[in-house]
Amino acid sequence: MQEGEGFVLCAVKGFLLVCKNDGGCTATTLVDGEVAIAFLPFRVASQAITRPIKQQFLQPWASWGVISDEDKKLLWERFKVQWAAEHEPQIKKNFNMKAFHRLSEMFRDARIAGQRPYWVGEHIWNSLLAHCNSPQYRIKCATVQKNMASEKGGVLHTGRSITTHEHVIRMATELRRAVHVDEVFTQIHIRKGIGEYVDERSRKTIVRRFFCKIDTGEIKGGSPPYANSIVDADDEMIRTQCWVEVVQGKKKG
The rounded radius of gyration (Å) of the Cα atoms in the chain is 20
Rounded to two decimals, what is the model's pTM?
0.47
Candidates 189, 192, 232, 191; CA nearest to 207 is 189
The one-letter amino acid at 29: T
> Are 49 and 119 found together in one domain?
yes
What H or E segment, with its residue span, contains residue 141?
A: helix 135-153
Evaluate whether residue 144 is within a structural domain.
no
Evaluate whether residue 89 is within a structural domain.
yes
Summarised one tens digit per residue, pLDDT across range 221-240 is 444 443 333 444 445 555 55
- Name the β-bridge partners of 7: 4, 20
Summarised one tens digit per residue, pLDDT across range 129-178 is 888 888 887 887 777 666 655 544 444 444 455 666 666 777 777 777 66
Residue 36: half-sphere exposure toward Cβ, Cα within 13 Å? 26
Mean pLDDT estimate for the chain: 64
Q: Are 189 and 152 in contact (CB under 8 A)?
A: no
> Are 124 and 166 found together in one domain?
no
Which pLDDT band holds residue 52 (cuts at 50, 70, 90)?
confident
> Are 22 and 107 found together in one domain?
yes
pLDDT at 65: 85
Evaluate whether residue 242 is within a structural domain.
yes
> How far is the C-alpha of 67 from the C-alpha of 227, rounded, in Å?
35
Which of 133, 160, 180 is a domain's end point? 133
> Are 171 and 116 found together in one domain?
no
Buried b / exposed e along 38-56 (16+ C-beta atoms within 10 A): bbbebebbbebbbbbbeee
Q: Domain total for the chain?
A: 2
Evaluate whether residue 143 is within a structural domain.
no
**Which structural domain range is residue 207 located in?**
150-247
> Are 167 and 125 found together in one domain?
no
> Are 163 and 236 found together in one domain?
yes
> Are 57 and 82 found together in one domain?
yes
> How far is the C-alpha of 245 from the C-alpha of 225, rounded, in Å?
18
> Are 155 and 57 found together in one domain?
no
Q: What percent of the chain has pLDDT over 70?
A: 42
Cα-Cα end-to-end distance for the chain: 51
Query: Which residue stretches of 19-134 are H helix?
Result: 42-55, 69-79, 88-113, 122-132
Summarised one tens digit per residue, pLDDT across range 179-219 is 666 677 677 666 666 666 656 666 565 555 544 544 444 44
Summarised one tens digit per residue, pLDDT across range 65-74 is 889 999 999 9
Evaluate whether residue 49 is within a structural domain.
yes
> Are 124 and 11 found together in one domain?
yes
pLDDT at 93: 80
> Is 47 strand, coil or helix?
helix
